[in-house]
Structure 1
Amino acid sequence: MRFATYKAEGDTFYGAVTDAGAIALSPDFPQWPGLFDVVAQGGLDALVQAARGRPVTHDQITYEMVLPDARRILCVGVNFPDRNAEYKDGSAQPRFMSLFPRFASGFTGHDRPLIRPPESHALDYEGEVAIVIGKAGRRIAAKDAYDHIAAVTICNEGTIRDWVRHAKFNVTQGKNWDRSGAMGPWLVPFTDPAQLDGACIKTRVNGELRQDDRLARMIFPIREQIAYISTFMALQPGDIIVTGTPTGAGARFEPPRYLVPGDVVEVEVNGIGTLRNTVADEVS
């Protein structure tokens, strides 16, 4: 089953998404104002039960960032073998994972435009899998890590490339432009390790395949990500970990192939779906 945050008839809802439309569930659960609250309170199973056998409420919807109230989003950088080689700096594979924060305001929803700001036209794409924590934990053992995942989704971790070099040690500026990335279309409850262990990421720009790799090739697998991150911070339900992008982003071409208005970017992950976005310039 798939759960999304969306707008319809002038209001915002969360609910189950089917091929025919959306089943609004938020009116049934006033104790959970948003999908973040559902996850934080362990309510996904209740949504599954409530959606069964229900008719579609809305056949025309506008997707929002799937967890617009997410409080903590951590991203793992340079997490595929070929990504490290793309930097052409002669460095060995990293011993520890690179991490940086993103904020919910930097993401839009499925079928919405990624926004290119006037300050820079170096808007790039990064197709990734994101996991949503459902069970709190500190110093989680890697073997137990999957027990702490509530759901999975897709991320286009859009980046303003020349702004990730504005400071010596961080990339935060280039990673947090409003609506420069996307997350969704929906959450898929995590029920089987094969949802991650067998997953592939494919990113297409205007139909051209740019990224194509398997999560099994990650330098730091998702189990290790959860173990490492939970060493220095207690993970909480609703936390999001964006797990890393394969080689093939636009910055790595010669010359770079950045996104321009009118482009269509699709990130496909088997077992989850396809996150699709257009590109538009920011309107003042």
Structure 2
Amino acid sequence: MKLIRHGGEGHEDPGVMLDDGSLIDASGEFLDYDEAFFACGGLDSLKSWVDGGCIGGIRLDPETRLGAPVVRPSKLVCVGKNYADHAKEFGGEVPDEPVLFMKATTSCCGPFDDVVLPHGSTKLDYEVELALVVGRTASNVHEADALDYLAGYTVMCDYSERKWQKEHCGQWMKGKSADTFAPMGPCLVTTDELKNPQSLCLWTKVNGEKRQNGWSGDMMFPVAFLVSYISKFMTLLPGDVIATGTPAGVGMGMVPPRYLSAGDYVELGIEGIGHIRQRVIPSV
């Protein structure tokens, strides 16, 4: 299945995207795609409803606004330097174990929403990432069982203000957490439809120019390992999101660096999931 959320910002309703691309409202049957939905068997109920023909569901305008495919999660955990080529362009050594950091969940937004340049931002950068959505509570899980704890996958852009990330003291989250810095979508593809998360092409274009062109099989720490590893340090709750890192080609890694400016268009996609797109706009 492909889960969507649609409607005005902060007032999204649940829905589904059918195989033909049609968008169907599901708010008559389900409240939202939140922790309770995933924890209480919501995916199974949704599948039964979809298989039964989406009785009572209303077909949506294809131009309707989409929100992030899950309600603001309790945690947005990110993995840094998970592709060797990106680790090298970022500078420093290739890590021996996953580099983890958190991104404020208030940075989550819809897949086609504008990304806002914060006041004082001079080094805005992009990172296409495969994002994992947790389907049930995970704590100290074994790697062999880890994929069973996932609900599905989505596309995320980990926007970063590199000056705040690298030139200010403290943790990376300073440069990662501004509003609109974590657009996700266009949908959540469930694990039964996307069975191998290590076989996906990831790409980014800026103003039509291909910047990133990677493959999830190049992750140094694959999806199952990451879920197991992270669950040793914190309990992952249903609906939590894990961003798994980005391949080379970010603006910071170019010579000279090519950061984003107001008016730029960024498109990002992952095979089997879809694409998202943002326009960079100045803050008001």
TM-score for the superposition, normalised by structure 1: 0.91
Query: CA, structure 1 residues 166+200, in 2 after alignment: closer, same or farther (shift >3 Å)?
Result: same
**Worse-matched range after superposition: 17-26 or 166-175:** 17-26
Query: Is the CA contact (8 Å cut-off) linking 2:130 and 2:154 kept in structure 1?
Result: yes
Displacement after TM superposition at 1:279 (Å) = 1.2
Counterpart mapping for 1:68-79 below 5 A: 68-79=71-82
RMSD: 2.1
Alignment deviations for residues 69-91 of structure 1 (CA, whole Å, 9 cap, x no partner): 211110000010111211344x3
**Alignment match, 2:14:** 14
Paired residues for 1:1-284 under 5 Å: 1-7=1-7, 12-18=12-18, 21-29=22-30, 32-52=31-51, 53-54=53-54, 56-59=58-61, 60-89=63-92, 91=93, 93-191=94-192, 194-283=195-284
Q: Deviations over 1:209-262 (max 9, x none)?
A: 111111111111111111111112222211111000001111111221111222
Deviation at residue 47 of structure 1 after TM alignment: 1.6
Contact 2:184–2:276 (CA under 8 A) maintained in structure 1: yes
State how far apart, in whole Å, the 2-side matches of 1:6 and 1:133 are.
21
How has the CA–CA distance of structure 1 residues 171 and 253 changed in structure 2, closer, same or farther, with 3 Å as cutoff? same
The letter of the residue matching 1:62 is: R
1:66 partner amino acid: P
Contact 1:5 1:35 survives alignment (8 Å): no
- 4+ residue segments displaced more than 3 Å: 18-21, 32-37, 166-169, 192-195
**C-alpha distance in structure 1 between counterparts of 2:33 and 2:192, whole Å:** 22
- Unpaired runs of at least 5, structure 1: none
Q: Distance in 2 between matches of 1:98 and 1:11?
A: 34
What is the distance in 2 between the residues matched to 1:36 and 1:62? 23
How far residue 95 of structure 1 moved from its aligned partner, in angstroms, is 1.1
Q: CA separation of 1:205/1:36 partners in 2, compared to 1, >3 Å: closer, same or farther? A: farther
Return the offset for 1:36.
4.4
From the superposition, tell whether residues 48 and 227 of structure 1 become closer, same or farther in structure 2 (CA, over 3 Å): same
The letter of the residue matching 2:111 is H
| Deviation of 1:34 (Å) | 4.1
The answer to whether the Cα contact below 8 Å between 2:13 and 2:32 also exists between their aligned partners in 1 is: no
Inter-CA distance 21–175: structure 2 relative to 1 (3 Å threshold): same
Deviation (angstroms), 1:20:
5.6
Q: Which runs of 5+ in 2 are unaligned?
A: none
Whole-angstrom CA distance in 2 between matches of 1:47 and 1:146: 20
Number of matched residues?
Answer: 279
Deviations along 1:142-172, whole A, 9 cap, x unmatched? 1111111111101001011101135444101
CA contact (8 A) 1:106 1:179 kept: yes
| Distance in 1 separating the partners of 2:185 and 2:116 | 16
1:71–1:103 CA contact under 8 A, matched in 2: no
What is the percent sequence identity of the aligned residues? 33
Going from structure 1 to structure 2, the CA distance change for 1:35 and 1:6 (only over 3 Å counts) comes to farther
